[in-house]
Amino acid sequence: RDMLQKQVHRFEEEQARREKEQESQIEKLATAEKNFETEKARVIREEEELRKHESEEKNRIWAEHENKVVSELSDLCNQPQFMFTSFDNTNLPESFHGSLKPDFMIEFLEQYVIFDVKVSEAKNLQVYINDQVKKTAQKVKGNEKIYSSIFLVVPTVAVKDLKKRTFYEEGYSFFVVSPESIAPILALFKKIENYEFAEAMDPQE
């Protein structure tokens, strides 16, 4: 009887120890799950805040884009190395009427080079640009005063989102460019203009 009582006592002690260990493991597991959920919620919150910040920054860039580009174009055209006659959509040549109101143009060899500043809230910028190319091509179609190259200016950060940046539509070449490209483009047109002017002169001049 004594031996059986000792065995029962050992079994009870062992069972109590195991129950205590099991309770401890359950508590640890519950704590780990709670910590995991807390960390998961923190990561999700940070990702949402980051997306919100990126969206706000993108909207700010697009909102300021048009005014900044038109202002930069105007300033560049007035610089001594360029000196292009320029127009914006509030001051177009008399021959322009109807729906064709480019954001900015320069006069070049008796034609007009269009710089159209694109402002978009579209989720898919490529689809938007593709559509704008077609619409602009229809507007300028048959207008002999429009130069064959048309430039669509988008923010620098948006250029990387475009897989296609050059288009040919209705006899016109369209180029999607960043604001940083404007000065080199104007310099190229000035070079061409100077060559054309030199060819029209007699050798003595």
Range scoring the smallest mean pLDDT among 65-79, 124-138, 184-198: 184-198
Q: What is the per-residue pLDDT across 139-180, written as a single tens digit (0 to 9) for each?
A: 999 888 999 999 999 998 888 889 999 999 999 999 999 999
Q: Tell whether the model's pLDDT for residue 95 goes beyond 70.
A: yes
pLDDT in tens, 5-48: 888 888 988 888 888 889 889 999 989 999 999 999 999 988 88
pLDDT per residue as tens digits for the range 98-121: 678 889 999 998 899 999 998 777
Residues 117-138: tens digit of each pLDDT: 987 777 888 999 999 999 999 9
Q: Which of 92, 175, 195 is nearest to 133 (CA)?
A: 175
Name, in order, each residue with C-beta under 8 angstroms of 100's C-beta and a sequence gap of 6 or more.
Answer: 139, 140, 143
Give dist(CA 166, CA 174) in Å, integer: 6
Alpha carbon distance, N-terminus to C-terminus of the chain: 133
Question: Which residues partner with 174 through β-bridges?
Answer: 150, 167
pLDDT of residue 13: 87
Provide the pairing of β-strand 86-88 with 104-108: antiparallel
- The total of other beta-carbon atoms located within 10 Å of residue 176's CB is 22
Q: What CA–CA distance (Å, rounded) separates 62 from 121?
A: 8
